[in-house]
Amino acid sequence: MKNVIEHRGYSMGITFFGGEPLISFDKIKEIVEYTEMISETITKRYTIVTNGTLMNDEIADFMEKYHFRVTVSLDGDKTIHDAYRFFASGCGSYDMVKENYQKYNSKIQAICRITIHNGNTDVFSDVKNAVDIGFRNIAIGFDSKMSDDKFRDFYSAYNRMLMAYYEDIQKGNFYVIESIKRNINNLLFQRRISSRCNAGRAYFTLAADGSIYDCHRVVGIKELKVAQDEDNLKTLIDDHIQFINKKVTEKKSDRHSKCNFCPFVYLCGGTCYQHSYEKTGSYFSRIERDCSISKLEIEFTLKMVTSLDKTTLKEFITYCNKKD
Ligand code: SF4
């Protein structure tokens, strides 16, 4: 923390992942309170990804006090969620997650994280379920190990979900699909995206054993370790940032040769590094599935901003950014 604060300027974000990070709530408190103590002049943003089962009054008050961005995993309706997320007793966690969300929503305003996998492809129903519970911010991710058939089901359900989303926005029933919000803001602020998440450039993951990786998804893959808790940490990180910067802008890479003629190249940011590494052994390839989802989202965003009436669009953009 000291290192980041000394060398990296005026703002920083810290995200807590697990397993389930709230098992170590005392440690989270310690880290946040220490960070607040040594970095008064720096803007901080705290984020946590949790299964939502351990939330209580003390934790919710703490999250509210430090303006945490809380992401809760909820994979579909009760039947689907409980089939994959259950306690040691075998009892599913859906009811507890729902109850905690509804109890603490006024304090934590959580984002619902839906993970799509072979057993959960109907993102149309998943989003409807999350909205019915009360979630107003929804992030969708998919498991790169899905079978081709299941991915096709997901793609088709995603298309249907986006069509229903458009109708909801037209009717003034606003909620946020995070990927669409990101596209809108990139368009609005005319950003040229060369990396989807900026892992290895503006974002690193500190693993429990003190080693540092580009991203939480690659923790434990030895050859992708960026650094350990070493004296020359700053040099190692700086060299790595330069390496990633060079790679994502390198014209000869596989990713660039395939993306160069794409009209969406500066809105997309290319394939997730971990998905790419898993499929090809390289961070910098283009993966067809990521590409097809990215195109679907960008085409939807463009259709939306060009066809919604101006008043609704303005209200929707204001709604999307009201918490940030
Ligand atoms: S949409 Fe596909 S082709 Fe276009 S930039 Fe993204 S990954 Fe490349």
pLDDT at 195: 83
For the segment 100-124, the average pLDDT, to the nearest whole number, is 94
Cα–Cα dist 94/74, whole Å: 7
Q: Tokens representing 133?
A: 């519970």
SS3 content of the chain, % helix, strand, coil (to 5): 55, 15, 35
Q: What is the pLDDT of residues 49-101, one digit of tens each?
A: 999 999 999 999 999 999 999 999 999 899 999 999 999 999 999 999 999 99
Residue bearing tokens 């359900």: 157
Q: Select from 3.20.20.70, 3.40.50.2300, 3.20.20.80, 1.10.3720.10 the CATH code of 2-173.
A: 3.20.20.70
Cα–Cα dist 202/200, whole Å: 6
Distance 215 CA to ligand 1 centre (A): 21
User: Which residue from 286, 287, 301 has its CB within 8 A of the most atoms of ligand 1, so it is best to mutate?
Assistant: 286
User: Which residue from 192, 254, 258, 275 has its CB within 8 A of the most atoms of ligand 1, so it is best to mutate?
Assistant: 258
Q: Within a 10 A sphere around the Cβ of 204, how many other Cβ atoms? A: 19
* pLDDT at residue 269 tops 60: yes
Distance 14 CA to ligand 1 centre (A): 29
pLDDT at 186: 94
Q: Report how many helices (DSSP H) and strands (DSSP E) the chain contains, helices first.
A: 14, 8
Q: Within a 10 A sphere around the Cβ of 252, how many other Cβ atoms? A: 7
In contact, 78 and 100? CB cutoff 8 Å: no
Distance 276 CA to ligand 1 centre (A): 13
Asked whether the whole model's pTM tops 0.95, one would answer no
Atom of ligand 1 nearest to the CA of 255: 8
What letter does residue 52 receive in the DSSP assignment? S
Query: Would you call 113 exposed, middle or buried from its count of C-beta atoms within 10 A (0-12, 13-18, 19+)?
Result: buried
Cα–Cα dist 158/152, whole Å: 10
Length reported for the chain: 324
* pLDDT at residue 198 tops 70: yes
Which residues, listed in sequence order, are joined to residue 43 by a DSSP beta bridge?
Answer: 11
44 lines ligand 1 (CB under 6 A): no
**Cα angle 216-181-21, degrees, rounded to a multiple of 5:** 30
Cα–Cα dist 82/319, whole Å: 32
pLDDT at 248: 79
Residue 9 — pLDDT band, cuts 50, 70, 90? low
Q: Tokens representing 223?
A: 């050859």
E strands within the chain? 11-16, 43-50, 69-73, 111-116, 137-142, 176-177, 205-206, 212-213
What are residue 70's phi and psi, to 5 degrees? -105, 125
Q: What is the pLDDT of residues 202-214, one digit of tens each?
A: 888 989 888 999 9
Atom of ligand 1 nearest to the CA of 290: 7
Distance 140 CA to ligand 1 centre (A): 18
Tell me the residue type at 6.
E
Residue bearing tokens 């390198």: 250
Distance 288 CA to ligand 1 centre (A): 9
Write the CA distances from 120 to 142, 208, 272, integer angstroms: 10, 30, 21
In contact, 148 and 286? CB cutoff 8 Å: no
What is the secondary structure of 168-183 as a DSSP string?
HHHTT---EEHHHHHH
For the segment 94-115, the average pLDDT, to the nearest whole number, is 94
What letter does residue 227 receive in the DSSP assignment? B
CA-closest residue to ligand 1 atom 3: 259
Average pLDDT, the chain: 90
Q: Tokens representing 248?
A: 């994502």
Domain boundaries, the chain: 2-173, 249-319
Cα–Cα dist 204/275, whole Å: 17
Which residues, listed in sequence order, are joined to residue 140 by a DSSP beta bridge?
Answer: 114
Which residues, listed in sequence order, are joined to residue 44 by a DSSP beta bridge?
Answer: 12
Cα–Cα dist 2/9, whole Å: 11
Atom of ligand 1 nearest to the CA of 259: 8
Distance 37 CA to ligand 1 centre (A): 43
Q: What is the pLDDT of residues 217-231, one digit of tens each?
A: 999 999 999 988 777
* pLDDT at residue 1 tops 80: no
